[in-house]
Amino acid sequence: MVSLWEELLVVAYALEMRSITKQYFGNTVLKSVDVAVKPGEIHALVGENGAGKSTLMNILFGMPVIHQTGGYDGVIQIDGVDVKVDSPARAMELGIGMVHQEFMLIPGFSVVENIKLNREISRPNLVSRFLGSKLETLDLNTMGKESQVALDKLGIDIDHWAPVAGLPVGYMQFVEIAREIDKHNMKVLVFDEPTAVLTESEADLFLESVKRLAGLGLAILFISHRLEEVVDISNNITVIRDGEVVGRLAKDAARVDRIAELMVGRSVKQSALPPRKKEPSDDDIILQIRDLAVDMPGEKLQNFDLDVRRGEIIGIGGLAGHGKVALANGIMGLYPGTGQVIKDGQKLPLENPAAALKSNLAFVSEDRRGMGLLLDDSIEDNIVFSSMQIQNKFLKKHLPWPSTHMRDAEAIRAYALDTIRDLDVRCQGPNQPVRRLSGGNQQKVCLGRALALSPDVLFASEPTRGIDIGAKNLVLDLLVEINREMGMTIVITSSELAELRMICDRIAIVYEGRLVGTLDPTASDVDFGLMMAGGIGTGVKAG
Amino acid sequence: MSTQNPVIPTKKTGISLLPLVSKNAVPILFAILCTLAAWLAKMDPWFLASEIITRLARNSLLVLALLIPVSAGLGLNFAIVLGAMAGQTAVIAITHYKMTGLWGFVVAMLASAPLAALLGYLAGKIMNRAKGREMITSMILGFFVNGLYQLVFLFLIGPVIPMQNRSIMLPSGVGIRNTVDLFRIEKVLDKLWRPIVLGVRIPMGTLIFVGLICAAIHFLMRTRLGQQMRTVGQDMHIAGVAGIDVDRTRIIAMIISTVIAAWGQLIFLQNISTLNTYNSHEQVGTFAVAALLVGGATARRATIWQAIVGVLLFHTLFIVSPQAGHAIIGVPQIGEYFRVFVAYGVIGVALALHAWQSRKS
Amino acid sequence: MKKKLLDFAAKMEIPRLIIVGFLLFIFAVAFITGLPLDSLFSASLVRVGMNGVLVLAMVPTVSAGVGLNFGLPVGVLCGLVGVLLSMQLDLHGFVGFFSALLFSFPLAVLAGWAYALLLNRVKGQEMMVGTYVGFSSVAVMCIFWLLAPFNNPELVWAIGGRGLRSTLTLDKHFAKVLNNLFLVKLGKIEIPLGLLGFFGLLCLIVHLLFRTKLGLAIKAAGSNPRFAEAAGINPDHTRIYGVILSTVLGAVGIVIYAQSYGFVQLYMAPLMMGFPAVAAILLGGASLQRASIGHVILGTFLFQTLLTITLPVASRVVQGDISEVARLIVSNGMILYALTRGERREIA
C-alpha cells in the first residue's frame, strides 16, 4: 500500500529513475537500480570503475550507445512525469544537464562563445529573411550579458571575452557549469568526477559553487571518487556495485570507510591455496622500491615505497584514479618516473622499457588491446615477440649481427604449441590472428608473451578486466600455478578487491598516489574500506 | 573570418613591435625577398605595379575560395580544382552557344554555380569519409576529377555528347581544342570600370566583385552558420555533442568553397581570355594554397587579409624571379624553378608546421 | 556457394574486381579484334620489371607505420644522381648499371634519413607532407641540374643552354642491360628473365628483411607503436629504418626504370613518380596500414597490364591517346578509394 503522503513525496522528486535495468549482449550491467533526487538536493553516486555509473548516466542522457544496444528497462520521471529520453538533444530539452569529466570546451573560443555554444543569440537580417535563420547575425552583446548572469550565479568573476585557452583548469570547469545553468529550464545537473582534475583550493571553490547551485533549487547528481568531498557536500549517497544498488546513506549516516567498504564489497570465501616449499619472507627481497613517482595521466603515483618478497603474490589495490596501475607502468618504463627501484641489488633505470625487460621483469598490461597485443598478427608471433626482441631467442643466427637474425619458424611453432597447451588457449591454431580470440584467450596470449621471457617478477595489471567470469577464474588459477610451480614473484593490480583477496599473500593499498599500508587478505572488510579511503585500519602490517 | 574570436579585448601594455613581427614572420620574410628580387631584377616600377594589380584582380577569388574550408577545419582545400573545372565547363558551354559580353559572363556564372555546388557536395561527402586526412584526399580528388574532365572533353565530346560548334573542337570532330579563344568575354568584368590611376590601369569592375565576395565571406562568418563552421573547425567532437550536424556543416563549407572557386576561375579566364582546356585548372589548387600560406595563413587559421597579402607577395615573386635569376646567375630558368620551389616548399613547410602543432596540442 | 562468392568478392574488394573485370573485357576485345596478344603480354612483362621496384618501395614505409610513401621522388632523385655520375665517368654495361646503384646508395641512405627525421615530427600527416617534400625536392634538384658541374658533353646542352639536358639517352651506357639479360622466348612471348629476376631478387630481399629481428620490430612498431614501446623498441627508430629502406628502393627503382626505358628524364619529370607506384600497390590489395610483397607483384602486374593493353585496344575504339587519361583515373581513383574507405574494423 502506498500512502497518499508517500505519493506526494514521489511527486516532489525532480528526477526519479526507477528499476533501471540494462543488458549489453545478454550481460546484465544494471539490475533494477533506483535513484531519486529532489530539487535542491545534492545526491552522490559512488562506485568502482565498471560498477555501472556511466551506463546509468548514458541512459539518463539518451546516448546512442544505449539505444543501439537494445535500450533499457525501467522508468525515468522528471518532475513526476514519465519521460522517454531517446537522444541527448531530448535530454537537454527535458532540463537535464551534464558537466563532463573531460572538458567540452573549445580553447580558441572566448568564454561567452563557449557558454553559448550552438545556442547563440542572433538577429534576423536581410539575407536570413530569404535563406533561413542559420544566416542570422550573432548578437554578441546579448550573448555576453546572459553569460555574465550565469557566471554571477556561480559567484565567479572572469573576463568573459577572454579565450578559454588561457584560463586555469578550475575556471574551465566553471565555464562548463555556466553553460549548463545558462540553459533556461535546467532542472537536473550531473557532475561526472568534476574535481578529478582540480587542485585542492580549486576543488573547495568548486564545491562551494555546487552548494550554491543546489541552493537555487537545482537537483544535483554528483559522481566522484573522492569520498571525503562526497561525505562533505551530499545530502544523500547511493552506492553501486556490479550494477546493483548496495547501499543508500543519508548525510548523517555517511562515513568514508563505510562507503569504501560498500564499494569494494565483501570478501568471498577464500579457498585454500596450495602451500609452498619455502614461504616468502622479509629476509629475501627481490624488488625494493623507494620514493617512486610516476607521471601517468589520471593515475599519478608519488613517494611510493614497497618491498616485494621473492616468491610472493602481492596485490596492489585502491580506488580508480589513485595510482595503483601506475606502479607497474612506471617500473616497466612506460611512463615518466623518478625514484629508485632496486632489483636483486641492481639499480633499475627508469623510463627504459628495454632495461626493465632485460632485468627479468615482465608486464601484462591493463590495456590489453591497445598495448598488449599485435591484433592482426598470429598467436605464435605475439607469444615470442618480446623474448625475441629482448633475449634474442627464437632466432636463427646466420650472421654475426643480432638485428639480422632470421625468425626461427620451427622453434617458434614448437614453443607456441607448448604455451597454447599449458595455458589452455582456445584457438584454431598457433597462426590464428589474435584479433579473432575471445577476451580471456587474448589475455592468455598476453600472459604467454610475458612468460616467454621467463621473468623473475611478473606484473599483471587488471588481468581479469573485461573477460567473462569463467575465464577470470582460469586466469587467476593460472597466476597461482605459475607462482607455485615456477616460484615466480607476481605483482597483481586489480580493481576487484575480492580477487586480490583470493590469491594474494598480502595486499598493498594505494590512496592518492601513496602507499597507505599493506593488509593480510584475511583482514576485515572494514579495514580494507578504511584504508582505501586513506585511513589506517587495525590490521595494518608494516609497509 | 579568423578562427580566433573576433572580439577579444586585450590589455595594451605599451606598443611592442616584436610580437607583431613574429606573428607575421612569413609575409615579412617574403616581402623582403620580393623587394630584393625586384631590386635585382631592375624592373620598371610602373610595369611591376600594373602587373601586380592585374594579377591581384585575376587570382584573389581563387585564394579566397580556400578560406571557409580552413575555418571549418577541412584544412587547405586543394579540391578547389573541381570548382575551376566547373567554371571551365560553363565557359565552354557559353562559347559553344556563342554568348557574348557581360551577359555571357553572367550566364557562365549562373551555369557554373549548380555544377560547382554538386561537385562541392560530392567533395564534402568524400572529405567526411576521410577525416584527419582531408588535405591529401582533396589533392587526389583534384587529380581524379581532372582525369574525368579530360575523359569528357577529350573523348566524349563528339561521339557521346553531340556538339555543333566545330570552331572549338579538334579537327577530328572528337574533343575540345587544347586552346579556346575566349574573345567573346575578354576582360568583360575588368572593363566594366577601368580607371587609370597614376598611369596604372586598374580593373575596378573585377576588384569590386572580389570585394563583394570578401564582404559576403565576412558576413557569413558572423552568422550562426559561420559560428557553427568555426566550432566544427575547432573540435568536431565537441561540436557534435553541442548538437551541430558536423558532416552537414562541412559539406556546406565545401560547397561554398567550390562555387567561389568556379567564379574565381571565370574571373581568371575573362582576364587571360584564352582557355587552355587541359591545363588552365591544373595548378589552380597549388598556387592558391601557396599564395594563402605566403600571406601568413596556416592550415587552421586564415583571414581575408592574409589571402590578399599572400596574392600580392606570391605573384610579385612570380613576376620578378625569372629576371632576378637572370640577373644573379645569368640563367633565367633558375628563377622559374625557384618560384616552383617556393610554391611547393612553402606548402611543404606549412603542412609540416601544421602537423607538428596539431600533434603538440 | 553464394556465400563463398560473396566472401570472395568482399576479399577482392570492389575496385579490384572492376579492374580485373575490365582487364578481362579488354583481353576479350583484343582477342576478337585480332590484336597481337603475345607481344602485348611481352610488353606488359617488361613494364612489370621496369616499375616493380618503385612499387616495392611502398612496402617498408607502410610496414613501419609511416603510410604510403608519396615522397618517393626523394629516392628517385638520388637514383638519378647515381645514374648521372655513372654516365659522367663514362661507365658502360653492367659496370655502369651497378656503379649507378652504388653511387646512389649512400645518397639515398642520407636523404632517407633526413626525410625520416622530418616525418617523425609530423606523425599523422606523413602522406601530405611527404608529397610536398617530394615536390619541393624535385624543384630544388631542377636548380641543381642547371648548376651542377657535370661536363661530359653527352650530359650538358651542346650550345646555348646551361646545365644538364632534360632527356639523356643511355644507349652508350647501360640501356636495357637487364632487359636483354636472359631474354627467353616462349613461343611468341618474350620473357625478360634477367629483369624479372632482378625484381624478384629485390622482393625476396625485402621479404627476408622483414623476417629478421629488426624487420619484425619495424613491423610491430608500425602496426602498434605502444605495443612495441612496451617491448623495448623505439618506434621513432624503426620508422627511420623503414623510410631509409623505402628511399633506397626508390633510387634502385629509378635506375632499373631508366635502363629499361633507355633514357633519363630530368627536371620536372620525376614530379609525379610517386603516384603510379602508390596506386599500383593499392590495386594489389594493400591498404594504408598493411602492404606485402604479394600486393606489390599483383598490383604492378594488374596496373601495368592495364596500361599496356588499354592503349592499343582503345585506339581501335576511340581516337587519341586515352591511356594517359585512363592512368589518371585509375591511379587516383584507387588512391581515393584507399583514403576514404576508413580503417578496417573487424568484429571478433
Residue A357 and residue A464 in one domain = yes
Overall average pLDDT of the C28-49 stretch: 84
Residue A361 and residue A433 in one domain = yes
- As a whole number of angstroms, the distance between CA B262 and CA B280 comes to 12
* Contact (Cβ atoms closer than 8 angstroms) between residue B172 and residue B163: no
Residue A445 lies inside a defined structural domain of this protein: yes
Residue A116 and residue A47 in one domain = no
Residue C319 lies inside a defined structural domain of this protein: no
Nearest beta carbon to residue A353 from set C230, C346, C348 = C230
Residue A404: alpha-carbon gap to chain centroid: 42
The cell 606489390 sits on which residue? C296
Q: What single string gives the DSSP state of each residue in B276-345? A: ETTTTTTTHHHHHHHHHHHTT--SS---HHHHHHHHHHHHHHHHHHHHHHHHHHS-HHHHHHHHHHHHHH
Pairing status of strand B179-181 against strand A361-364? unpaired
B136–C contact, CB cutoff 8 A: yes
Residue A372 lies inside a defined structural domain of this protein: yes
So what's the pLDDT on residue C35?
78
* Cβ–Cβ gap A403/C213 under 8 Å: yes
Residue C224 lies inside a defined structural domain of this protein: yes
CA distances from A370 to A170, A387, B98, B132, C231 (A): 31, 20, 64, 20, 13
Share in percent of chain C as helix, strand, coil (round to 5): 70, 5, 25
- As a whole number of angstroms, the distance between CA A262 and CA A264 comes to 6
Count of beta carbons in the 10 Å neighbourhood of residue A136: 21
- CATH number for the domain spanning A511: value is 3.40.50.300
- As a whole number of angstroms, the distance between CA C271 and CA C273 comes to 6
CA distances from A360 to A462, A504, C114 (A): 20, 21, 36
Residue A169 lies inside a defined structural domain of this protein: yes
Cβ-proximal residues to B131 (8 Å cutoff; 6+ apart), any chain: B236
Percent over 70 (pLDDT), chain B: 94
Q: How many CB pairs under 8 A join B and C?
A: 137
The cell 598488449 sits on which residue? A372
Window 235-294 of C: residues touching A by CB (8 A cutoff) are 290
So what's the pLDDT on residue A543?
39
Domain ranges of chain B: 54-282
Window 202-231 of C: residues touching A by CB (8 A cutoff) are 208, 211-214, 216-217, 220, 223-224, 226-227, 229-231
* Alpha carbon of A509: minimum distance to chain C alpha carbons (Å): 25
Residue ranges making up the domain that contains A335: 285-532
* Cβ–Cβ gap A392/C213 under 8 Å: yes
C114–B contact, CB cutoff 8 A: no
Q: Which range among A196-205, B166-175, B212-221 has the greatest average pLDDT? A: B212-221
Nearest CA in chain A to C217: A389
Cβ-proximal residues to C78 (8 Å cutoff; 6+ apart), any chain: C104, C107, C108, C111, C247, C250, C251
Q: Which triple of cell numbers denotes residue B201?
A: 590601369
**Chains in contact with C, counting 3 or more C-beta pairs less than 8 Å apart as contact:** A, B
Q: What single string gives the DSSP state of each residue in A386-450? A: HHHHHH--SEE--SSSGGGPEE-HHHHHHHHHHHHHHHT--SS-TTSBGGGS-HHHHHHHHHHHH
* Alpha carbon of B244: minimum distance to chain C alpha carbons (Å): 23
Cβ-proximal residues to A308 (8 Å cutoff; 6+ apart), any chain: A285, A286, A287, A288, A289, A314, A457, A489, A491
Among A131, A158, A183, where does a domain finish? A183
To the nearest 10°, the Cα dihedral for B162, B165, B166, B167? -150
Nearest beta carbon to residue C322 from set B148, B155, B347 = B155
Nearest beta carbon to residue B141 from set C162, C329, C336 = C336
Residue C297 lies inside a defined structural domain of this protein: no
Residue A22 and residue A144 in one domain = no
CA distances from C75 to A363, B132, B347 (A): 40, 27, 20
Residue A58 and residue A117 in one domain = no
Cβ-proximal residues to A49 (8 Å cutoff; 6+ apart), any chain: A320, A495
CA distances from B127 to B249, C330, C339 (A): 12, 19, 10
* Contact (Cβ atoms closer than 8 angstroms) between residue A319 and residue A256: no
* Alpha carbon of A222: minimum distance to chain C alpha carbons (Å): 35
One-letter amino acid of B20: L
**Domain tally, chain A:** 3
Nearest CA in chain A to B246: A118
B9–A contact, CB cutoff 8 A: yes
Each residue of C297-320: b (16+ CB within 10 Å) or e? bbbbbbbbbbbbbbbbbbeeebbe
* Cβ–Cβ gap C227/A354 under 8 Å: no
* Cβ–Cβ gap A122/B238 under 8 Å: no
**Domain tally, chain C:** 1
* Cβ–Cβ gap C333/B174 under 8 Å: no
Residue C140 lies inside a defined structural domain of this protein: yes
* Alpha carbon of B242: minimum distance to chain A alpha carbons (Å): 6
Cβ-proximal residues to A195 (8 Å cutoff; 6+ apart), any chain: A203, A206, A207, A224, A226, A229
Residue C307 lies inside a defined structural domain of this protein: no
Residue A273 lies inside a defined structural domain of this protein: no
Residue A279 lies inside a defined structural domain of this protein: no
* Cβ–Cβ gap C122/B133 under 8 Å: no
- As a whole number of angstroms, the distance between CA A19 and CA A408 comes to 58
CA distances from C339 to A435, C268, C327 (A): 23, 26, 18
- As a whole number of angstroms, the distance between CA C108 and CA C79 comes to 8
C183-212 pLDDT, tens per residue?
888 878 888 999 999 999 999 999 999 999
B224–A contact, CB cutoff 8 A: yes
* Alpha carbon of A161: minimum distance to chain B alpha carbons (Å): 6
> Which residues lie across from A24 on neighbouring strands?
A27
* Contact (Cβ atoms closer than 8 angstroms) between residue A347 and residue A341: yes
B222–A contact, CB cutoff 8 A: yes
A377–C contact, CB cutoff 8 A: yes
Residues of chain C with Cβ-Cβ distance to A385 below 8 Å are 216, 220, 231
Q: Report whether pLDDT(B8) > 50.
A: no
Please list the pLDDT of chain A residue by residue as tens digits (543 residues): 455 555 555 558 889 999 999 887 767 788 899 999 999 899 999 887 667 888 898 899 888 788 888 888 999 998 888 888 888 878 888 888 888 777 788 988 999 999 998 888 888 888 888 888 888 888 999 999 999 988 888 877 888 888 888 787 778 888 888 888 888 788 899 988 777 667 777 788 888 888 888 888 889 998 887 788 888 889 999 998 878 888 888 888 888 778 877 877 655 556 677 888 888 888 888 999 999 999 988 788 999 999 999 999 999 988 877 888 999 999 999 999 999 999 988 899 999 999 999 999 999 998 888 888 998 899 999 999 999 999 988 988 888 888 888 899 999 999 999 999 988 888 888 989 998 888 888 989 999 999 999 999 999 998 887 777 677 888 888 899 999 988 899 999 988 888 888 899 999 999 888 899 899 888 887 788 888 877 765 444 433
Residue A340 lies inside a defined structural domain of this protein: yes
Residue ranges making up the domain that contains C169: 40-271
**Chains in contact with B, counting 3 or more C-beta pairs less than 8 Å apart as contact:** A, C
Q: Which triple of cell numbers denotes residue C15?
A: 575496385
Residue A271 lies inside a defined structural domain of this protein: no
Residue A276 lies inside a defined structural domain of this protein: no
Q: Complex ipTM, two decimals?
A: 0.87
Among A183, A198, A216, where does a domain finish? A183
So what's the pLDDT on residue C164?
84
Nearest CA in chain C to A406: C212
Q: What single string gives the DSSP state of each residue in B170-190? A: -TTSSSB-SEEE-GGGTTTTG
One-letter amino acid of B53: I
pTM: 0.85
Among A142, A161, A183, where does a domain finish? A183
Nearest beta carbon to residue A374 from set C211, C214, C223 = C223
Among candidates C313, C345, C278, which has minimal Cα distance to C27? Answer: C313
Q: Which triple of cell numbers denotes residue A246?
A: 548496495
* Contact (Cβ atoms closer than 8 angstroms) between residue A508 and residue A306: yes
Instruction: Write out A66-115 in H/E/C secondary structure.
Output: HHHCCCCEEEEEECCEEECCCCHHHHHHCCEEEECCCCCCCCCCEHHHHH
Give me chain B's average pLDDT, please: 87
Residue A259 and residue A293 in one domain = no
So what's the pLDDT on residue A103?
78
B235–A contact, CB cutoff 8 A: yes
Residue A192 and residue A303 in one domain = no
Among candidates B191, B280, B207, which has minimal Cα distance to B55? Answer: B207
Pick among C212, C241, C347 to test the A interface (most A CBs inside 10 A): C212
* Cβ–Cβ gap B223/A106 under 8 Å: no
* Cβ–Cβ gap A392/C348 under 8 Å: no
* Cβ–Cβ gap A389/C227 under 8 Å: no
Residues of chain C with Cβ-Cβ distance to A459 below 8 Å are none
Among candidates A219, A239, A218, which has minimal Cα distance to A227? Answer: A239
Residue A206 and residue A220 in one domain = yes
B60-112 pLDDT, tens per residue?
999 999 999 999 999 999 999 999 999 999 999 999 988 998 999 999 999 99
Residue C23 lies inside a defined structural domain of this protein: no
> Which residues lie across from A509 on neighbouring strands?
A317, A517
To the nearest 10°, the Cα dihedral for B145, B147, B150, B155? -120
With 0-12 / 13-18 / 19 or more C-beta atoms within 10 angstroms meaning exposed / middle / buried, residue C204 is exposed
Count of beta carbons in the 10 Å neighbourhood of residue B178: 12
Cβ-proximal residues to C235 (8 Å cutoff; 6+ apart), any chain: C65, C221, C225, C228, C229
So what's the pLDDT on residue C108?
96
* Cβ–Cβ gap C348/A377 under 8 Å: no
One-letter amino acid of A205: L
* Cβ–Cβ gap C336/B155 under 8 Å: no
Residues of chain B with Cβ-Cβ distance to C124 below 8 Å are 132, 355, 358-359
* Alpha carbon of A121: minimum distance to chain B alpha carbons (Å): 8
Q: Which triple of cell numbers denotes residue A484?
A: 607455485
- As a whole number of angstroms, the distance between CA C205 and CA C203 comes to 5
CA distances from A361 to A128, A354, A422 (A): 67, 10, 21
- As a whole number of angstroms, the distance between CA B57 and CA B207 comes to 6
Q: Which triple of cell numbers denotes residue A347?
A: 639499480
C157-184 pLDDT, tens per residue?
776 667 888 888 888 888 888 888 888 8
